[in-house]
Amino acid sequence: MSIQTTCSFCATGCNLEFEVENNNILSCKPVITHPVNKGLACIKGRNIAYQNSMEHRINSPLLRDEEGKMNPISWEKAYEIIAEKFIDINNKYGRGSLAFLSTGQIPLEEMAILGYIGRFGLGMEGDGNTRLCMATAAVSYNQSFGFDAPSYSWNDLMTTELAIFIGANPAISHPVPWWRLRKENKEAEIIVIDPRKTETAKMANMWIPVKLKGDLCLLYTLANYLIEKNYIDIEFVRNKIENFDEFKKFVSEYTLDKLEDSCGIKDNVLIELAEKIHNKKKVSFWWTMGVNQSYEATRTAEAIINICFLIKAIGKEGCGPNSLTGQCNAMGSRLYSAETCLFAGRKFNSENDRKIIRDILEIQDEIIPTRATLAFNEIIEKVETKDIKGLWIIATNPMVSYPHNTLMENFNSKIDFLVVQDIYYDTETAKEADLFLPTATSLEKEGTFINTERRLGAVQKVVEPPEGIKSDYEIILEIGKALGLNDKLKLDKWKTPKDAFNLMKAISEGMPCDITGVEYDNLKNSNGVQWPLRYKENLENDYRILFEDYNFYTENKKGKFIFETPQEYPELPNEQYPFYLITGRGGVGLWHTLTRTRNMPIVQHTYPKEDYLLISQQDADNLKVKDEDLVLVSSKNGNCNIKVKVSDEVVAGQVFISMHYNVANRLTDSLYDPYSKEPSYKYATVSIKKI
């Protein structure tokens, strides 16, 4: 039997076909006809079935006893304990004393029911690890367009004439579209703006090694140059975009003579970049975590959008300010988790939006949240201050992934009751749990993902989960019932993931992300559907872009130039910490904190079992270190012992550590963008000492 499903690693949205016999997976191959991956898959996707291995999994919930030992219990007992503990905490300390932390890697329907039971039912704070990677893009699109709406399709990468990657390394983070670009669009010119000579930069036509966090000044200088040279579409910006005169005046201060000092780039490099932009009809900008994970990330992303406004590189094939999303369903999390907005991007303070939700869900207005959740870091801080007493963590591993994660040590002792719901019982976070709930993998359940280009794709159950293991949807629904929320929340309307999808579909009517024309069952074995698709609309093309009419989602239908004076560096290298630390992905086969890729034989044989510090030859010579030497790396937040690898990927004064091995985040700082609340993972100062 052949079963097609959407890959649950990155947000590319590749579709895979599995041959299954007697509930055993015999093979996995990419779907040749799917418009996203066209027969391609990276090593994570091709080997995804290894995540189903029972190594590191268990068939029943585990409860910590008074001696600290984890013991198996029944699901009925687990639900009873959760209900008792959560109700007791709420009664003692009031609403807001409970919180959940979730993910961008479970289906839309599971995110929706979690937000519904957690935020509507219990008054929880609740944020996802999407905050740690994509909040910047969401806020930037909302502020510039009026809605969190990436406008592009993957076809734009295959038809662009000039692809400019800023803080993005798709050669390893989004390998399938990168391979397609190299194969299908060989004439496209590729420019990479990045302080590190990444795998993508090495294959680009032009690498611009901007000074670390000098990208905002670079973009403002580029905007000024384009305006001065009259390389802009003045009619478009006058008629369709707000604040042009103010923006023009603001960027006039960013002149070429200041460029090298602020960005580490000579003026002729920027002039060459600007001329390339001017001489191409189809120009596209692509960014990801190098932009998003910064203390001034939102304004940097908006500076990219501003450039596209200036040259009218939006609403057309091969163009756009295009954020590359990280996780398979981060787009679903952004719109359907009830964390930073109500379902389908509706507003907390809109009476009309609240009425629509109230009527469709048949609930009382007073249980609908009135504001966005506290951000991920604010929830952790309230655990530290004992304001949050109970925490429910679903499908994420913050003991490793949280910045300055030494703050997370002995986490269990800081909270009255910690529930961890995950595939694996031995993650660093699961080991801290009072109660562990074992969950199904993406191949053992159903639902939908929304990929980076707004495409809804079916998650089909490839095999049944092992006995005793349940889907996140079933677990969350049963917890809601155990909490006595069945009548209050009308949970009979939420019996299955399909029910949840249809509720979200109804709520989406009239919104930019309207999916009233999408049928849940029709997504199965299909090419997927990019939103919006409204009721009775015909899907005429597998690739669709937004803003072809240049009407944005603001009240006056205009986009908006947004800008702000760049911040001072939060900390500069000094005598104590003389190096900049950059973090990022370590390879195509490595994923987040390694829990889902560690069972893959190809990963075990291809990648090291420990992390390395990448350092320039110049700095290695000065420190008298060579490959494989052990060094102590220290920041003001923590330290680690790590082996050295001399590399041409970093320039003198910079070092690099990957994000995967529970090393980098012992050093990173608790700095956050003021608008998106996304952490500044890419920036810290460190010292290095040979051991």
Same domain? 190 vs 214 = yes
Q: Do the Cβ atoms of 452 and 150 come closer than 8 Å? A: yes
Exposure letters 368-378 (e unless 16+ CB within 10 A, then b): bbeebbbbbbb
Q: Do the Cβ atoms of 31 and 6 come closer than 8 Å? A: no
Confidence band (pLDDT; 50, 70, 90) for 408?
A: confident
SS3 labels along 509-567? CCCCCCCCCCCCHHHCCCCCEECCCCCCCCCCCCCCCCCCCCCCCCCCCCEECCCCCCC
The reported pLDDT for the residue numbered 404 is: 87
The reported pLDDT for the residue numbered 592 is: 95
Concatenating the DSSP letter of every residue in 233-285 gives: -HHHHHHHEE-HHHHHHHHTT--GGGHHHHHS--HHHHHHHHHHHHT-SSEEE
Same domain? 355 vs 476 = yes
Domain membership flag for residue 142: no
Confidence band (pLDDT; 50, 70, 90) for 651?
A: very high
Same domain? 226 vs 259 = yes
Same domain? 284 vs 189 = yes
Same domain? 31 vs 87 = no
Pull the structure tokens for residue 311: 């040259």
Same domain? 41 vs 71 = no
pLDDT in tens, 160-215: 999 999 999 999 999 999 999 999 999 999 999 999 999 999 999 999 999 998 99
Q: Which residues span the domain enclosing 375?
A: 62-133+328-458+467-483
Cα gap 664→478, rounded to integer Å? 38
Q: Do the Cβ atoms of 197 and 649 come closer than 8 Å? A: yes
Pull the structure tokens for residue 203: 């294959």
Q: Do the Cβ atoms of 66 and 355 come closer than 8 Å? A: no
Domain count for the chain = 4
Domain CATH number, residue 42: 2.20.25.90
The reported pLDDT for the residue numbered 434 is: 98
Predicted TM-score (pTM) of this structure: 0.97
Q: Do the Cβ atoms of 79 and 478 come closer than 8 Å? A: yes
pLDDT in tens, 440-456: 999 999 999 999 999 99
Using the 3D structure, point to which of 265, 291, 324 is the last residue of a domain.
324
For the chain, give percent helix, strand, coil, nearest 5: 35, 20, 45
Same domain? 179 vs 284 = yes
Confidence band (pLDDT; 50, 70, 90) for 464?
A: very high
Domain CATH number, residue 304: 3.40.228.10
pLDDT in tens, 225-261: 999 999 999 999 999 999 999 999 999 999 999 999 9
Domain membership flag for residue 387: yes
Q: Do the Cβ atoms of 573 and 579 come closer than 8 Å? A: yes
